[in-house]
Structure 1
Amino acid sequence: MLTTASASAGGQARVSGTVPLTRVVPQPAEVRTTAGVAFDLEPDDAVYATAGSKEATDAAAFLTGLLRKPTGYALPVRSLASGARPEGIVLALGGANKVTKPEGYELEVTSHAVTIRADDRAGLFNGVETLRQLLPVKVDRAQRMPGPWRVQGGVISDAPRYGYRGAMLDVARHHLPAPDVKGYIDAIARYKINYLHLHLVDDQGWRIEIKSWPELAKIGGSSGTGGMLGGYYTQEQYSDLVAYAWARGVTVVPEIEGPSHMHSALASYAKLTCDGKPLEPYTDWVNSPLGKLCIDNPTTYEFLDDVIGEIAALTPGPYIHIGGDEAHERPQAEMDLYLQKVAKLVEKHGKKVFGWQEAAGSLDPKTSVTELWAAGINDEQLVEAAKGGGKFVMAPASNAYLDMKYNESLPEYPVGNSWAGTSTVEDSYDWKPEEQVAGLGESTIAGVEAPLWSETVFGINQLENLAFPRLLSIAEIGWAKASSHNWDAFKVRLAAQGPRLREARVNYYPSPEVPWPLGS
């Protein structure tokens, strides 16, 4: 009989020198530990992927990319014939998998093999990330290390609570170079975050090349908050980021903000302004009072059609985020007109509309997803959208915004915001998606997201220090069963990730709330 992952027996039955199956973040749905059994990866082992399956081969490429450097093993990828039970690591798509929920997987460890079974590509990647945490901490080293590479025997049957588990990265206020974005992708993927929401446009900067409107990158991309950290991604760089994320089980969601937060576009092209007069680039720390698209200007929609079309062609994922937040001075009729026109452009280019919560009253709830960041702004519209079949991603600023400071007093926090309050690691864990707005119950929630805004963040080290370990809390809420929610148990599993983050060279805040082990 399967026991829950928090069962203490799972740890007591393990083989000495192995990681307990119950130590994974986010917490698996069900775990059974096999006493006295372990698998040792050997130099002559191979990785077997279901024959003819690109999905399985993709997962095998990801896994071998993780393992070859630290182990020094060749780990060739071989085809798995139907019915075969080879020794080594097996990635099997379909067949005997007992977990049929999307993104679910079964991971079985015997003395002869580690077998990951899933019904879809995402499930195989999720199983690989679990296996990664069950291997010794040294698996995250960038150089060859001595074995053994031992995994505790047992079975994990696992699937996520929500299908959308996102991290939002604001690269608009301050540009983040593409290699650093890749590093962030690597860090979030290990905790089964499956969407990276890239906030590409804001008042202070335009971060994506648009070939039909080249001044957006040249002028809009030259600025940044405080006049610092400008830059943009060429279309080739953006496509490379999208492919890099996909190869790690992460789907990119690009955001083109509007109708507010658009000063960088207006500064690039005077014909987008209501009076045709040019604007200077904007570098202040707060929102620009002039950064508003002209809603009744036909050029606005010609411009957005071109932008959305080019980005949609570069983005294989299902969503394009169109913003819609902090436009409080706009009459509802104007917001309806703008958002409905832009939604049609998104749909024209084959994508599904994603917007901030202020857009909920204007978009068709059956064909869009909206993201909550602060209860109390338009609760009635959200509830009406829910009645019409709307789905919501929950990202409450007081708990899920990773740019909020951990506290106000310590000198190591000259960066970060506090307008939504400070947020400890426990704060980031201590909330429930289904309780954010009365009337938005469990059935309306598509998932959760952890945004990180960058106007007070200067580079990847500061960014990672704010994101980790709190992003693991959001990952846990998005994946684990609601009934398993327990801070005292979570912080122990979280603590075990300290050495892993250190080995992976991910900067994180060693919060005094967490019982970090020696070596964290």
Structure 2
Amino acid sequence: MLRFYSSLLAVLVCAASVQAQTPAQRYPLIPYPTSLSPATGQFTITAKTPVVSVDKRFSNEAGQLRTLIEAGLGQKLPMTGTGPRIVLQHDPSVTAAEGYALTITPQLVTLKAAQPVGMFRAVQTIRQLLPVGIEKPGKAVASLTLPAVTIQDQPTYDWRGMHLDVSRHFFSLDYLRAYIDRMALYKFNKFHLHLTDDQGWRLEIKAYPKLTSEGAFRTYNNQDSVVLKRALTNPDFDLPKKFLRQQNGKTEYGGFYTQAQIRELIAYAAARHIEIIPEIDMPGHLSAAINAYPMLSCTGQSGWGKTFSVPICPCNEPTYTFMETVLSEVIALFPSQYVHIGADEVEKSTWAQTPACQELMKREGIKNVEELQSYFVHRIERFVQSKGKKLMVWDDALEGGLKPSTAVMYWRSWVKDAPQKAARNGNDVVMTPVSTLYFDSPPGSQSVENVYKLAVVPEDVTTQQTQQFLGAQANLWTEYIPTENRADYMTMPRMTALSEVVWTGKKDYPSFQQRLLSHLLRMEQMGIHYRLPDLTGFAEENVFVDKATLRIRKPLDSYILRYTTDGSQPQTTSPTLPDGLVIDKPQTVSVAAFTPSGVRGDVYTLRYQQQDYAKPVAVGTSKAGLQVSYFKKAFKSVKEMTDLKADSMFTAANLVVPPSVNAPSFGLQYRGFLTVPETGVYSFFYTCDDGGVLHIADRLVVDNDGNHFPIEKSGQVALSKGAHPFSADFIEGGGGFTLKLKYSLNGSAPQDIPDSWFTR
């Protein structure tokens, strides 16, 4: 069972109401301000309420606020006035560039900042305090209200980023602008635009026109085949027809941005105080460029090595001429102080076999191909610095050595000391760990909470080194994300959790959960196809003895629950799920929540089977805890551990992984007995990264096998009071693990299993 918002159920109210009962609902701000002092009353905005800014430096922000309110009212606002009004003021005492002060009383709204960027952040706070209906203007309304409050606010971190990969799948400029709008609403300031990769080159380079005439389009590849198969049951995976073309009798897919279009996008982002950081991947991930210009590789052709694509050749001078020419156009186009070149996942086998590289390594005293990559990165960095820019790379590039001047994005969660290593080397660091902030990983019951718990500054760094951690960024790689709707689903609402982590610094997850309810309603009005909250109160694999009753509480009152029992997926025309659906025979029920506009949430397939209560077994003399077999190797499935001899054995009080289990990849088999205190139908929730399988009373309860990101799966088993055989298998393929097991009895809230229940 998925439980994304399980703890929200006790606090469900109409969060759209300005007069909500709790401060979190009266002031549903994400990210939450540094300081907020509640006040009584409210300010009413009518067509007679002026937005006043006497300081020209805030004319852009005043115009945006006026446009926002006028769209909500459906009427124009005056420029001046003496009654209740909204005033934007310059205040040099606000020391932080992005800081602001906001005071709302029944008679006056005052926004204060020292810089336009701070004033813009204040406008976004006003936007979130206004009713959600302003996001979808319709007929004129007589008034809008703002709750009275005093706010002092500024960000904790300077780098508050979102990333979008437009090379694997192409996205329209309209969607990029919408993406920027959402970033602005949640006070992000860095937009990392991944423009090139093996699958497509998306930026016009005038010196090398074939990069886009050929490199921006492709015939269907293996990733396209996967999404087209998924599109048979989910249209959000269908390739957009507007990006298909017929060329030489073949269907090609792709697109690119002209430099003029990118200039317009940069200006659009700048008006919202967002910096666009371009990424031109090198020396690897460049098949699209090598296909167009084969001389770039050491072999004169593209292709794939053991793991990654053939890179460009760092040993030939024409390579540097090409890349410097490309970067010159990129740097002239983007005002960002950073240029990202990737430098990750480089297949270096062709370098080791190339005479030119062997000669270069000998001449320069380069010991191995990792240092050869560093040679390439250092040369590119010197060029970038000559243009007044700062180089940024992924943390893979640390392996061969980096200069302290290079900024590093940490993504390899399994290389746990990489951020500390970079900080010790003097590099600035942006945290983007794959385990938490790769939003292309499937969202699940704990995704939002995991993002919210992110540590921007890791342990084991000095006080001085903490200053080198600029902030954090979430990445959306689009191998299997071909549409805007799917991108929405993968980013929202996880993006909102990250915004609070990097802005506010202090965390209050229960408060965040309450405030998020209002933002789901706002997203609905904005037309965002966000991932709906998880439905709760059931398992995926269910059992009943005589009969069972399915009851699901709606996360929001506006949602409609619909179901089917014929194997089809619920649609807007499917019947509404009753308050209690009686199950008295084995069957499969599919359930989904729908928003008022018809957006469907995840489909839950609930399988019901009839069981007798498993009889307890007699256990003689026993000891506390479980017997655990430890296998130090990589597995793709728990079945691969069968009949193998364990490397070692130990005991564990519960289903935990002790520090002594430190192999990069491993498997564990937990064996013993589970003694339950009363007879009933027990639900078990098994979260695994990578895979796991749970048996109780010699019955399969949860199958969560395979190599995957953290996923919670659930199942039920009917148990009599007493001891039952317990078997749990778990595998970790490398990159960081998650292992959790919770239970509930007869529909109670999930909770940890007491250690006292386990014996061996």
RMSD: 2.9
Match for 2:34: what amino acid? A
State which structure, 1 or 2, has the greater radius of gyration over its C-alpha atoms.
2
1:164 alignment partner, one of 159, 162, 165: 159
CA 1:289 to 1:16, structure 2 compared with 1: closer, same or farther past 3 Å?
closer
1:518 alignment partner, one of 538, 557, 570: 557
> 2:27 — aligned with what?
22
Does residue 337 (structure 1) correspond to residue 375 (structure 2)? The answer is: yes
CA 1:111 to 1:423, structure 2 compared with 1: closer, same or farther past 3 Å?
closer
Per-residue CA deviation, residues 475-508 of structure 1 (Å, 9 max, x unaligned), is 11111123xx132221111122111000011111
Per-residue CA deviation, residues 282-323 of structure 1 (Å, 9 max, x unaligned), is 9xxx99844301011112211111111111111122211111
Match for 1:450: what amino acid? A
More helix per residue: 1
Per-residue CA deviation, residues 43-89 of structure 1 (Å, 9 max, x unaligned), is 12232234332xx11212222232222212323557xxxxx998422
Task: Give 1:263 deviation, angstroms.
Answer: 0.6
Counterparts of 2:348 and 2:194 in 1: how far apart (Å)? 22
Counterparts of 1:196 and 1:384 in 2: how far apart (Å)? 26
Q: Secondary structure at the residue paired with 1:209?
A: coil
Matches within 5 A, 1:132-143: 132-143=127-138
> 1:176 — aligned with what?
171
1:43 alignment partner, one of 38, 44, 47: 47
> 1:74 — aligned with what?
76
**Structure 2 unaligned regions, length at least 5:** 1-16, 225-238, 240-252, 350-368, 537-553, 559-594, 596-760
CA 1:219 to 1:92, structure 2 compared with 1: closer, same or farther past 3 Å?
same
Task: Give 1:152 deviation, angstroms.
Answer: 1.1
2:310 alignment partner, one of 274, 283, 291: 291
Counterparts of 2:424 and 2:108 in 1: how far apart (Å)? 49
Report if the CA contact (8 A) 1:110-1:154 is conserved: yes
Per-residue CA deviation, residues 177-228 of structure 1 (Å, 9 max, x unaligned), is 1111111111221111111100001100000000111110111101275456
- Normalized against structure 2, the TM-score is what? 0.59
Structure 1 window deviating more from structure 2 (291-300 vs 16-25): it is: 16-25
Match for 1:364: what amino acid? K
CA 1:290 to 1:135, structure 2 compared with 1: closer, same or farther past 3 Å?
closer
Task: Give 1:384 deviation, angstroms.
Answer: 4.2
**Structure 1 unaligned regions, length at least 5:** 1-13, 79-83, 408-421
Match for 1:241: what amino acid? L
> 1:507 — aligned with what?
529
Does residue 469 (structure 1) correspond to residue 469 (structure 2)? The answer is: no
Q: Which has the higher contact order (CA 8 A, sep 6+)?
A: 1
CA 1:62 to 1:353, structure 2 compared with 1: closer, same or farther past 3 Å?
farther
CA 1:443 to 1:435, structure 2 compared with 1: closer, same or farther past 3 Å?
same
Match for 1:191: what amino acid? Y
CA 1:480 to 1:17, structure 2 compared with 1: closer, same or farther past 3 Å?
closer
CA 1:437 to 1:300, structure 2 compared with 1: closer, same or farther past 3 Å?
farther
> 1:368 — aligned with what?
406
Structure 1 window deviating more from structure 2 (306-315 vs 464-473): it is: 306-315
> 2:278 — aligned with what?
254
Matches within 5 A, 1:16-415: 16=19, 22-35=27-40, 37-53=41-57, 56-75=58-77, 87-95=84-92, 97=93, 99-223=94-218, 225=221, 226=223, 229-277=253-301, 279=302, 289-327=308-346, 329=348, 331-360=369-398, 362-365=401-404, 367-377=405-415, 379=417, 382-407=419-444
Counterparts of 2:51 and 2:402 in 1: how far apart (Å)? 46
Per-residue CA deviation, residues 335-392 of structure 1 (Å, 9 max, x unaligned), is 2111111112222222221211123464332x33211112343835x43431343221
Match for 1:486: what amino acid? D
Match for 2:29: what amino acid? V
Q: Number of aligned pairs?
A: 476
CA 1:321 to 1:287, structure 2 compared with 1: closer, same or farther past 3 Å?
farther
CA 1:52 to 1:133, structure 2 compared with 1: closer, same or farther past 3 Å?
closer
CA 1:112 to 1:17, structure 2 compared with 1: closer, same or farther past 3 Å?
farther
Counterparts of 1:33 and 1:354 in 2: how far apart (Å)? 42
Q: Secondary structure at the residue paired with 2:43?
A: strand
Counterparts of 1:500 and 1:344 in 2: how far apart (Å)? 46
Q: Secondary structure at the residue paired with 2:33?
A: coil
CA 1:405 to 1:438, structure 2 compared with 1: closer, same or farther past 3 Å?
farther
Q: Secondary structure at the residue paired with 2:336?
A: coil
CA 1:320 to 1:77, structure 2 compared with 1: closer, same or farther past 3 Å?
farther
Per-residue CA deviation, residues 143-188 of structure 1 (Å, 9 max, x unaligned), is 3441421111121101111011000000011111111111111122
Match for 1:199: what amino acid? H
Task: Give 1:276 deviation, angstroms.
Answer: 3.0
Report if the CA contact (8 A) 1:174-1:458 is conserved: yes
